[in-house]
């Protein structure tokens, strides 16, 4: 039972979590690292359930002052073409660009030409949630200890196409299985910063995308570790849970649907130019699943929105993960619902550990005074992995033995429609 905002914390993991060699030669494992990184969860007792926690996000708080420089990348995939924006956390600056989110300005060509480095600072690549961006308060709370006051990290945020005041320059819009942009940035970062250990973190829809990416890469994933926060995992189950709930149907679905409708309206000219979407029909929708019916099914060729949900879900991809993967969730999350969490898959994979708090809502975890608890286990985990673990010693394991990365299992959890389209090029 939870008393005065003190949440219970439950860990789900393999019977034999992957062993991790420390820099001092001793050995630990992923479960022990996650447990050490996770402090007690004391939340605001006035926000005593997931709905109150989630709805409190509507109360505007300035949050940590993270400053960014933006770079527009040309997609290097011939099918998934267009551009996307990446915001890099930088030192405080006075530049103002009214077309961009607060504290964000573009790199000059000269500035960006000097970005490459042979330093060994750890680097974190972040994916935000549905219709959000680098400016989101939950995201800034999570990265603030890593970058402010020389926290020792380099951080960049990959904005979904059209989000965070970025332009839409092709008919390729966001998709819950849209792994191509993060794949390009990870590859770019590996080449541009050859000595930096790379990590990644995703929130909500971004967590679903990141989980799919890490699963698709498998044992060849360039990341040293990754974090999934508030992941809906099974999008069909999450949609059904929202639809049957009064608050889910009349509030959450409406709010998310309205946000996506506004996003399309903001890019009306580009939508009309590059896509065959029915703009007027999109402006008539009221709920998220209706938006997915009008946009995702038309854009990607899915027969129904539920087919899209099944295809884009990341629950099966959990089985293919071969790097340390920390999953953070709240059991009372009304959007990324508990019933969508793939507990069995997590227990089968020694590379995955789930930390689930009994309270917290959706990307909320509000503490007394306005702090966000999720920042604590996230930063503790990342700092421990970067400073204490011999990252080069981590090898893909199967049943306690080093995996043969050339072998393919009969069940391939990431061969889905969008992946097959890539193969057919």
Query: Are the C-beta atoms of residues 298 and 277 closer than 8 Å to each other?
Result: yes
Q: Confirm if 185 and 158 have CB atoms less than 8 A apart.
A: yes
- Which member of 228, 362, 364, 374 is catalytic? 362
- Which tokens belong to 167? 């332009």
Beta-sheet strands, E only, within 309-350: 325-330
Burial of 251 (0-12, 13-18, 19+ CB in 10 A): middle
**Which one of the listed residues 204, 314, 357, 358 is annotated catalytic?**
204
Catalytic residue chosen out of the listed positions 333, 357, 358, 374: 333
Give the DSSP per-residue string, 156-207. EEEPPTT-TTPPP-SS----TT--HHHHHHHHHHHHHSTTSPEEEEEETHHH
SS3 154: strand
* 14 in active site: no
Q: Which two tokens stand for residue 230?
A: 């508030």
Radius of gyration of the chain (CA): 20
- The number of residues making up the chain comes to 425
Known catalytic residue at 358: no
Provide the 8-state DSSP code for 23.
T
Assign 3-state DSSP to the chain and report helix, strand, coil percentages, each to 5: 40, 20, 45
3-state DSSP assignment of residue 140: helix
362: annotated active-site residue: yes
Query: Rounded distance, CA 194 to CA 186, Å?
Result: 11
The overall longest dimension of the chain from CA atoms, in Å, is 63
Taking the C-alpha atoms of 397, 401, 403 and 404 in order, what is their torsion angle to the nearest 10 degrees?
Answer: 180
Which residues are known catalytic residues? 204, 333, 362
């Amino acid at each position: 039972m939870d008393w005065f905002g003190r949440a219970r914390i439950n860990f789900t993991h393999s019977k034999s979590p992957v062993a991790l060699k420390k820099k001092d030669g001793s050995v630990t494992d992923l479960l022990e690292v996650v447990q050490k990184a996770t402090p007690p969860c004391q939340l605001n007792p006035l926000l005593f359930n997931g709905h109150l926690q989630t709805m409190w996000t509507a109360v505007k708080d300035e949050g940590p002052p993270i400053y960014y420089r933006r770079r527009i990348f040309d997609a290097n995939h011939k099918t998934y073409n267009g551009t996307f924006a990446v915001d890099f956390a930088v030192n405080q600056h006075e530049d103002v660009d009214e077309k961009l989110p607060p504290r964000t300005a573009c790199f000059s060509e000269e500035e960006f030409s000097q970005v490459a480095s042979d330093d060994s600072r750890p680097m974190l690549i972040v994916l935000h949630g549905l219709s959000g961006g680098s400016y989101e308060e939950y995201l800034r709370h999570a990265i603030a200890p890593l970058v402010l006051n020389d926290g020792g990290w380099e951080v960049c945020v990959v904005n979904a196409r059209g989000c965070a005041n970025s332009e839409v320059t092709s008919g390729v819009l966001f998709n819950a299985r849209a792994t191509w942009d993060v794949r390009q940035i990870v590859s770019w970062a590996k080449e541009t910063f050859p000595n930096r250990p790379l990590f990644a973190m995703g929130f909500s829809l971004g967590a679903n995308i990141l989980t799919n990416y890490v699963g698709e890469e498998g044992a060849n994933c360039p990341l040293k570790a990754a974090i999934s926060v508030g992941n809906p995992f099974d999008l069909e189950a999450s949609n059904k849970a929202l639809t049957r709930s009064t608050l889910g149907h009349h509030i959450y679905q409406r709010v998310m649907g309205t946000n996506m409708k506004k996003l399309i309206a903001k890019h009306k000219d580009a939508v009309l130019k590059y896509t065959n979407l029915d703009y007027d029909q999109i402006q008539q929708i009221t709920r998220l699943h209706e938006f997915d019916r009008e946009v995702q099914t038309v854009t990607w060729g899915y027969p129904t929105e539920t087919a899209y949900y099944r295809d884009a879900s990341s629950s099966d991809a959990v089985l293919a993960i071969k790097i340390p993967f920390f999953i953070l969730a709240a059991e009372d999350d009304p959007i990324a619902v508990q019933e969508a969490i793939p507990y069995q898959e997590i227990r089968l994979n020694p590379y995955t550990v789930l930390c689930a708090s009994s309270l917290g809502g959706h990307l909320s975890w509000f503490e007394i005074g306005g702090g966000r608890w999720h920042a604590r286990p996230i930063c503790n985990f990342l700092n421990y992995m970067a400073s204490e673990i011999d990252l080069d010693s981590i090898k893909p394991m199967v049943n306690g033995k080093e995996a043969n990365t050339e072998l393919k299992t009969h069940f391939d959890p990431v061969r889905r429609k969008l992946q097959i389209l890539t193969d057919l090029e």
